[in-house]
Amino acid sequence: MKILSVVGARPNFMKIAPFIRAIEKYNSGCEDKIQHILVHTGQHYDLRMSHAFFKALSIPDPDINLEIGSGSHAEQLGNTMIAIEKVLMKHKPDWVVVVGDVNATLSCSVAAKRLCLKVCHIEAGLRSGDMTMPEEINRLVTDRISDLLLTPDRISSANLLMEGTPEEKIHFVGNIMIDTLEANRDVAASIELSSIIGKNLIKGVNGNLPTLTDNNYGVITLHRPSNVDPEDTFRALVKFLLNEVAEDLRLIWPIHPRALKQIKTIRMWDQVISHPSLILLEPVDYHEMLRLNMGARIVFTDSGGLQEECCVLGTPCLTLRWNTERPVTLREHGGVSVLVGNNLSRIREEYRTTMKLKRTPSRPELWDGKTAERVVNKIIEFTYRGKKVHES
């Protein structure tokens, strides 16, 4: 059997790493091997946004890189479809496996289905209900056309059923990101905070830094267009973080390229880099982010992946969004995260409450570090339905 899997942007890499390892494990125990081809669309291309993750997570170099790069959504989607179609026509895989909700997920699943290839979506069924989010459109289209929908939680399976997806296509397998977290916990725990700061500090940032210890710092990540692109919204968020939160505790901000560009555009750069309590870093690698999360008193984020990691690690988390496609991570479902949108009085109020909370890890069902093996088994089962698997 030939499987072609696709990655495009940073949050895909931690989802594909355990899948590749599960294929290797499957191949080591059987003669009827899976041939795997890894395609990188090249949506994220920086050393720090892409290559560092391949290295840290021991992902083999992609067999094919489409080198799509930046652009408007239509450019990224269109260019990826044109390029992946040629690859799919040449390799004719039995399965195209896509993960998550980035532009690569949508464009490659559509191109594959136009060639009548089978598509498996890992992390299917997530719904924020927010049609202004590009990722929500990517999820809806990908799920509608996929043949095998592998969900991370029961709410996602229920979403798909509610939309009319045939039940036999939906399988609850757990959260593949947590496989990566569990496999890398020990390495992350052994990293010194000072070495993360030393390695990643942005040039020009106030170098006179305080010593950091666990539980005396917060972590910020922001990249969603809805928070970063509107000048007034982003300015107000940054001011709040600088003038109010950074008064109470050190803040570490590994900054996404979109946010970095915007800070300079709105002329807050000098204020940000000279603040004595704000530590601005380049995007950090997987283990470093995990380490920062493990010792953080609080996380401010608009990333879906971070919400999930906070949940398993127990880090109190303020999610700077009005909705989430990952409700199992919310406090009302036993998780650690609370939705605060980008309204300052709401953020301020929840910030005060959250600072009183203790680290409380929680583990949703099947977030057990073994999802990738279930994924490979489901693909095998689905392929050989009615046939014997390893007929010799």
> What is the DSSP track for 227-258?
HHSSHHHHHHHHHHIIIIIHHHSEEEEE--HH
10 Å CB burial of residue 233 (0-12, 13-18, 19+) is: middle
Asked if 102 is part of the footprint of ligand UD1 (rule: CB under 6 A), the reply reads yes
In the complex with ligand UD1, which residue's Cβ is closer, 81 or 209?
A: 81
Min separation Cβ 260 and ligand UD1, Å: 8
In the complex with ligand UD1, which residue's Cβ is closer, 253 or 351?
A: 253
**Which amino acid is it at 348?**
R
Site size toward ligand UD1, by CB under 6 A: 19
Asked if 121 is part of the footprint of ligand UD1 (rule: CB under 6 A), the reply reads no
Asked if 103 is part of the footprint of ligand UD1 (rule: CB under 6 A), the reply reads yes
Interaction residues for ligand UD1, span 145-184 (CB under 6 A): none
In the complex with ligand UD1, which residue's Cβ is closer, 237 or 379?
A: 237
Stretch of residues binding ligand UD1 (CB under 6 A), selected from 153-161, 252-260, 291-299, 331-339 = 252-260
Min separation Cβ 317 and ligand UD1, Å: 16
Cα radius of gyration (the chain) = 21
* Contact letters for ligand UD1, residues 257-276 (x by CB under 6 A): xx------------------
- DSSP label of 100: T
Min separation Cβ 45 and ligand UD1, Å: 5
Alpha-carbon separation of residue 55 from 13, 137, 358 (angstroms) = 10, 31, 34
Query: Which H or E run contains 373?
Result: helix 371-383
Among the listed residues 382, 355, 372, 334, the one whose alpha carbon sits nearest the alpha carbon of residue 152: 372
Stretch of residues binding ligand UD1 (CB under 6 A), selected from 95-103, 178-186, 207-215, 337-345 = 95-103
Active-site position among 223, 256, 287, 390: 223
> What is the DSSP track for 121-168?
EETTT-----TTSHHHHHHHHHHHH-SEEEESSHHHHHHHHHTT--GG
Q: Is 73 a catalytic residue?
A: no
Asked if 135 is part of the footprint of ligand UD1 (rule: CB under 6 A), the reply reads yes
180, 19 contact by CB (below 8 A)? no
φ, ψ of residue 99 in degrees (nearest 5): -125, 150
Contacts of 327-333 with C-beta under 8 Å, sequence gap 24+, read 327/155, 328/153, 328/155, 328/364, 329/364, 333/364
Asked if 194 is part of the footprint of ligand UD1 (rule: CB under 6 A), the reply reads no
Among the listed residues 367, 381, 386, 389, the one whose alpha carbon sits nearest the alpha carbon of residue 172: 367
* Contact letters for ligand UD1, residues 299-338 (x by CB under 6 A): ----------------------------------------
Stretch of residues binding ligand UD1 (CB under 6 A), selected from 51-59, 121-129, 154-162, 256-264 = 256-264
Min separation Cβ 281 and ligand UD1, Å: 15
179, 372 contact by CB (below 8 A)? yes
Interaction residues for ligand UD1, span 34-93 (CB under 6 A): 43-46, 49-50, 70
Residues 347, 319: Cα–Cα separation, whole Å: 9
Q: Which residues bind ligand UD1 (CB under 6 A)?
A: 9-11, 43-46, 49-50, 70, 101-103, 134-135, 223, 256-258
Enumerate the active-site residues. Answer: 223
